[in-house]
Copies of this chain bind each other. A is one copy, B any other.
Amino acid sequence: MKDFKYYAPTHVVFGKNTENQVGELVKKHNGKKVLLHYGGQSAIKSGLLDRVENSLKQSGIEYVKLGGVVPNPRVSLVRKGIEICKNENIDFLLAVGGGSVIDSCKAISSGRFFEGDVWELYLKKAKATKYLPIGCILTIPAAGSEMSDGSVITNEDGGFKKDYCVDEFRCKFAIMNPELTYTLPAWQTACGATDIMMHTMERYFSKDDDMEITDSIAEAVLRTVKEQVQIVLKNPTDYNSRAQIMWSGSLAHNDLTGCGTSGDWATHNLEHELSGMFDVSHGAGLAAVWGSWARYTRSENMARFARFAVNVMGVKQDFKSLEQTAEAGIVAMENFYHSIGMPTSIHELIGREITEKEILEMADKCSNYGQQTIGCLKVLSREDMAAIYRLAK
């Protein structure tokens, strides 16, 4: 088991009607004037935003609203949020939404006291030293941003998608009411489940084979989400299934499933370029490339892919061939993706054949023009990245 640090300080408040506690929670964390950050119309139409505003008012918390966060959140809106925070003396950020809204809040948090442009932080050219505290009301279980230290932002000028991770990004509190996810469309529910599972799989597929406790927890998360998303797609208002997906989403990405292992993250890196270029859903992008990544890298630890096949996908072990068992697990996962409406290739994802030029452009960007590798199970060069995109075509 590798040395590790684990830090998950977020106050989780989980259950029905918990959004009505938001004013009280902001107050407990010393917030006096809040930037209320959200996405589009759904938070307004559902009445959620009204309930949030009422709760803030009841606790005597002032607030300024900033909506308009889109999937793959844009740095332009982040810059606008930073300006508001400066002009309005905002001292607490409240995200009402999914990972995009929370990530947008995190970027605002890091840029508030930073003297340069916030994008420099995401380019790792600088590190912020002071941050605004963040709380959230989660409405889409997927990104795990409610307990994670990470944030991913898209620079629309060039289609770059970059991450920045610091402990200060961990939310002070996360309000999770599974009922708020009843109205999520099937597509978004499936994308979310895919993302949750991938956060676990990125940590699970490593060369380390000496962390049974972490592996078995990871398998528990994977089996649970796989089962429960199928129930939810049939019955969108199944509280218990929605609840288990929601909580699994946090556990998949608060580092619990990675304690003592080395994360791979190549699939995420490959996907970031896909959604940067084609603005597709992150979850769907992951599903489109995972099988190809798995087949390209599995020889690095075939036993682990076989273990995944048996313990997660319920595949019968082929005792004569580890490779056959591993392959059956990958096929079962791809069948599962199809069963929940996810693509398993880039042409299914974007609705047309991808060109060689596009593949090379993505590999260029993903490798920073050959200057960096990705992955850990198998370290991938620019050429490997292009080969996986081609396999996933």
A: residues with CB less than 8 A from B are 1-16, 18, 178, 210-214, 216-217, 219-221, 223-224, 227-228, 239-240, 243-244, 247-248, 251, 256, 259-260
Contact = CB atoms under 8 A, between A and B. Distances in A.
B14 A260 contact: yes
B5 A8 contact: no
B210 A220 contact: no
A358 B216 CA distance: 43
A11 to B, nearest CB: 5
Given A1-B239, A4-B14, A213-B221, 12 more contacts: A2-B15, A3-B18, A8-B8, A213-B220, A213-B244, A213-B248, A216-B220, A216-B223, A217-B251, A219-B220, A243-B260, A256-B256
27 contacts: A1-B240, A1-B243, A1-B244, A2-B15, A3-B14, A4-B12, A5-B14, A6-B11, A6-B12, A7-B9, A9-B9, A14-B260, A210-B240, A211-B243, A211-B244, A212-B228, A213-B221, A213-B244, A213-B248, A213-B251, A216-B223, A217-B217, A217-B220, A217-B251, A220-B220, A247-B260, A256-B256
Contact of A12 (B5, B228, B251): B5
A14 B6 contact: yes
A196 to B, nearest CB: 11
Contacts of A256: 256
